[in-house]
Structure 1
Amino acid sequence: MSDKEFGNSDDLSLPKATVQKIISEILPQLPHDNTGAGKEGEMTFTRPARDLLISCSLEFLRMVSSESNEISEKESKKTISVEHVEQALTDLGFGSYIEGCRGVVGEWQEVQKKRIGRGEKMRNFGGFDKMGEEELRKMQEALLGEARGRMEGSGAGQNDMQHGQ
């Protein structure tokens, strides 16, 4: 696989703050002894180690996405599906990751079901969804008139101040 497929390697990265947050959440859960630890047995993760983790993670993602793409192309598909990714993980020797991935996909699907689309939020905002089009138009015209009046009022005051009146 070449860099041309994914652009320059410098173009791809993971957000360092997010990776650091994940590391900070995971480290306390890992079994460890007290040798080489920070204060009172607390484990730490150096910046170079974090950067290496990011680099390894990106390479893993490149491998899985490239393999998934090849599988989808063999099936003459233009979209990589979950099944393609699962097959890629199996082919690359990471079949044990599939159950964890399915769990994450399931969580993501649940979040998507609960999300209200932006348009739906706007329709339901303040009960305006129950108003007729004519009523909404009149309300809009009134609001625009108020805004116009405020602009004209503040504009006159500013002109007076600019001309020393």
Structure 2
Amino acid sequence: MSKENELLLPRTAVFKLIKDLLPSDVRCANDAKELIVSCCTEFIHLLTSESNDLCTKENKRTICPDHILKALKTLGFNEYVQAVEEVFLKHKQETIDLRKAKAKEPKHLMTQEELARKQQELFAADSYRYQNEAYQYLNEHPSSLEDTNVLLSSARLKQEDEDDYDAEE
């Protein structure tokens, strides 16, 4: 990639902006799209250079939003200052809201080991409950030998499945 292309804005992003901003029945020639990319890149270079100059005059090492707003005014783009301020304030608020939302998220999620242990505890509790239901049923219906055999067989199979699962780990 040439040095010139490294300093250009991503063409695809600019082309998408052009497409989104134009009415659906209007097309933009490829040469015009390339010219817009070049103009946007040049504008950003100009704005950055002027912002850097203002920053340097104030003996600062970081360009701040105020430097950019002053640069817009210095370069004669006063009509854009209010819109840029509004977008910046909106961005700033969204960033604050995002930080607040992240702060509310649970900080300690369970590790894989804790999840596996919890799963085993739930399996054991369910198995115990299932076996108790089977024994309770047997006590209530002692004459139903066929039902008893089915329930015991089912309980044994379930326990064997759990034992096999435990052995795999």
Indicate the TM-score class for this superposition, using the shorter chain for normalisation.
0.5 to 0.7
Q: Secondary structure at the match of 2:106?
A: helix
Aligned length: 123
Listed as ranges, the matches of 1:38-53 within 5 Å are 42-53=25-36
**Residue from 75, 79, 102 that aligns with 2:62:** 79
Q: Does 1:107 align with 2:82?
A: no
Look up the equivalent residue of 1:77 and give its one-letter code: K
Match of 2:17 in 1: 22
Q: Does 1:124 align with 2:99?
A: no
State TM-score, norm by structure 1: 0.60
Stretches of structure 2 that go unaligned for 5 or more consecutive residues are 119-164
Distance 1:9 1:141, change over 3 A: same
Match of 1:33 in 2: none
Distance 1:47 1:98, change over 3 A: same
Alpha-carbon distance in 2 for matches of 1:104, 1:113: 14
Match of 1:66 in 2: 49
State TM-score, norm by structure 2: 0.59
Look up the equivalent residue of 2:32 and give its one-letter code: A
Greater mean alpha carbon deviation, residues 15-24 or residues 47-56: 15-24
**Residue from 114, 122, 125 that aligns with 1:139:** 114
Q: Secondary structure at the match of 2:22?
A: helix
Distance 1:26 1:142, change over 3 A: same
Q: Does 1:10 align with 2:10?
A: no
Alpha-carbon distance in 2 for matches of 1:136, 1:26: 47
Look up the equivalent residue of 2:22 and give its one-letter code: L
Match of 1:161 in 2: none
Distance 1:139 1:9, change over 3 A: same
Alpha-carbon distance in 1 for matches of 2:100, 2:8: 29
Cα deviation 1:126-154 (Å, max 9, x = unaligned): xx46xxxxx869617859xxxxxx9xx6x
How far apart are 1:43 and its partner, in Å? Answer: 0.9
Q: Secondary structure at the match of 2:8?
A: coil
Larger Rg: 2
